């Protein structure tokens, strides 16, 4: 295997702290990338074999651009079509900047789904980066047009809609990813593998928090695009804070622990006057194995940016991961010292080592986490097209999205009923 990399290339790689074997494995896995392109870390969209389109991600928007940059990082897919905005002139300007050809710029997502599906060279998947309430109609349209889907979270604003999408994806045999970004971090994968191996024993207690302060005042009154729709029930759904960031706690905890939630008891609050939906929530949780926990999500926690932190306490040890310092994992074993594991260290477990892109000490973050999700989704899709085994798939699926929507719905219901315990 190793002799397939030239000796000069192997030396360059070693000098960069990348073992030829790990690079070879990555190349072999993707079966697509040009080695030189990976080494230089260029944006190599043109080298991609898959074609994708995007709905959302117009001018001034947030997450669509993150998706595009993350996809470009590995060059496995090329952007060829889009309906980037609710405003057509915005879509056209965005398409020009992104070099999308005129005949593949669409006024609305329905036109895009039907025309792309009819093309011989139509898109392999669509990325949906629009506000919550639009996810269901858009995802449904593309599934019905036999196009694979990557959709932002929360999957939908209603559990029956989420179930319908899950059923439809299954019936059509299409891939469907939901971009719970935090599952893409190397140290989150390391934590998950530690729990799976039994390193910390039986999980007893889980503490999850996501503290932000950006909605501590009425930002929605200032014309801020992101705040406006998130505080509007018709666009965001039944919950703002739990839907937007509590859902990340739920998914990250589920991913790391592998545990299902049995029941929850929630209190959703709206602290900023005049706001129709929650901007803070405390949720007590019980897991299927008897473990207990508390989730706290807040958009009014002054002094905090994106403070997602998950702590898992088991019978033999504990782990702690903090998304604002994501290259490290705090680990402790009963009676032993507290250890700080560093991403890129030689002791990393395989699932984490596989997604670690640069040597320890050069931080990886949000873009890489999204890129890891997309790389796995794209390679899985390529394997599927080639009729190969899909066992290496490791991206959040439509079923994870459904679990998230159920969690949000039950949290709202519990709070409305006076913070009662509800089964999930």
Residue ranges in contact with ligand NAI by CB under 6 A: 55-58, 61-64, 83, 85-86, 109, 129-132, 134, 152-153, 179, 181, 225-226, 229, 244
Nearer to ligand NAI, 238 or 287 (CB): 238
- Classified as helix, coil or strand, 79 is strand
Nearer to ligand NAI, 203 or 364 (CB): 364
CA 61 to CA 68: how far, in whole Å?
Answer: 12
* Alpha helical stretches, state H, 217-365: 225-230, 233-236, 241, 247-257, 350-355
Q: How far is the CB of 236 from ligand NAI (least distance, A)?
A: 8
Q: How far is the CB of 15 from ligand NAI (least distance, A)?
A: 35
As separate numbers, helices (DSSP H) first and strands (DSSP E) second, the chain gives 16, 14
- Residues forming a β-bridge with 328: 342
Residues 277 and 221 sit within 8 Å (Cβ to Cβ): no
Q: How far is the CB of 86 from ligand NAI (least distance, A)?
A: 4
* Alpha helical stretches, state H, 173-232: 186-197, 225-230
416-424 contact pairs (CB < 8 A, 24+): 419/265, 419/266, 419/267, 420/265, 421/263, 421/264, 421/265, 421/284, 421/286, 422/263, 422/264, 422/265, 423/262, 423/263, 424/260, 424/261, 424/262, 424/263, 424/264
DSSP code, position 269: E
CA 377 to CA 46: how far, in whole Å?
Answer: 18
Nearer to ligand NAI, 85 or 298 (CB): 85
Q: How far is the CB of 117 from ligand NAI (least distance, A)?
A: 17
Q: How far is the CB of 47 from ligand NAI (least distance, A)?
A: 26
Distance spanning both ends of the chain, measured CA to CA: 48
Q: How far is the CB of 234 from ligand NAI (least distance, A)?
A: 12
Q: How far is the CB of 66 from ligand NAI (least distance, A)?
A: 7
Nearer to ligand NAI, 179 or 397 (CB): 179
Nearer to ligand NAI, 89 or 288 (CB): 89
Nearer to ligand NAI, 23 or 157 (CB): 157
Q: How far is the CB of 130 from ligand NAI (least distance, A)?
A: 4
Nearer to ligand NAI, 76 or 139 (CB): 139
Q: Which two tokens stand for residue 69?
A: 């940059």
The reply to whether omega before 154 is within 30° of 0 (cis) is yes
Nearer to ligand NAI, 127 or 318 (CB): 127
Nearer to ligand NAI, 243 or 317 (CB): 243
DSSP letters spanning 370-408: HHHHHHHHHHHHHHHHTT---TT--S-BHHHHHHHHHHH
Looking from the CA of 364 toward its CB, the CA atoms found within 13 Å total: 26
- Classified as helix, coil or strand, 343 is coil
Q: How far is the CB of 363 from ligand NAI (least distance, A)?
A: 18
Nearer to ligand NAI, 183 or 318 (CB): 183
Q: How far is the CB of 80 from ligand NAI (least distance, A)?
A: 16
Residue 45, CA distances (Å) to 33, 58, 105, 365 in order: 11, 19, 18, 21
């Amino acid at each position: 295997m190793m002799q397939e990399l030239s000796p000069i290339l192997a030396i360059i790689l070693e000098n960069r702290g990348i073992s030829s074997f790990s690079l070879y494995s990555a190349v072999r896995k993707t079966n697509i990338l040009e080695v030189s392109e990976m080494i230089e870390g260029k944006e190599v969209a043109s080298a991609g074999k898959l074609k994708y389109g995007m709905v959302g991600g117009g001018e001034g928007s947030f997450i669509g651009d993150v998706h595009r940059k993350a996809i470009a990082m590995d060059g496995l897919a090329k952007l060829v079509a889009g309906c980037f905005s609710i405003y057509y002139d915005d879509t056209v300007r965005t398409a020009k900047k992104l070099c999308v050809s005129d005949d593949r710029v669409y006024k609305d997502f329905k036109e895009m789904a039907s025309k792309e599906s009819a093309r011989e060279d139509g898109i392999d998947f669509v990325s949906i980066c629009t506000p919550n309430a639009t996810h269901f109609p858009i995802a449904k349209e593309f599934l019905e047009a036999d196009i694979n889907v990557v959709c932002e979270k929360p999957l939908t604003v209603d559990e029956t809609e989420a179930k319908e999408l899950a059923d439809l994806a299954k019936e059509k045999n299409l891939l469907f990813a939901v971009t719970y970004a935090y599952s893409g971090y190397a140290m989150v994968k390391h934590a998950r593998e530690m729990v799976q191996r039994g390193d910390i024993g039986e999980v007893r207690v889980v503490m999850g928090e996501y503290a932000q302060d950006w909605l501590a005042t009425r930002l929605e009154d200032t014309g801020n695009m992101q705040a406006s729709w998130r505080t509007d029930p018709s666009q965001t759904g039944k919950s703002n804070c739990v839907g937007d960031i509590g859902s990340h706690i739920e998914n990250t905890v589920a991913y790391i622990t592998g545990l299902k939630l049995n029941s929850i008891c929630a209190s959703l609050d709206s602290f900023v006057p005049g706001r129709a939906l929650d901007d803070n929530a405390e949720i007590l949780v019980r897991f299927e194995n008897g473990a207990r926990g508390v989730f706290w999500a807040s958009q009014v926690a002054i002094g905090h940016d994106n403070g997602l932190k998950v702590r898992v306490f088991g019978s033999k040890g504990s782990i702690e991961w903090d998304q604002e310092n994501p290259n490290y994992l705090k680990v402790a074993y009963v009676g032993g010292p507290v250890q700080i594991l560093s991403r890129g260290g030689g002791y990393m477990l395989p699932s984490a080592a596989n997604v670690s892109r640069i040597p320890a000490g050069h931080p990886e973050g949000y873009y890489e986490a999204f890129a890891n999700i997309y790389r796995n989704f794209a390679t899985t899709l390529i394997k599927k097209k080639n009729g190969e085994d899909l066992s290496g798939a490791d991206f959040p699926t439509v079923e994870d999205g459904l679990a998230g929507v159920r969690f949000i719905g039950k949290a709202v219901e519990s709070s409305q009923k006076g913070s009662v315990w509800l089964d999930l």
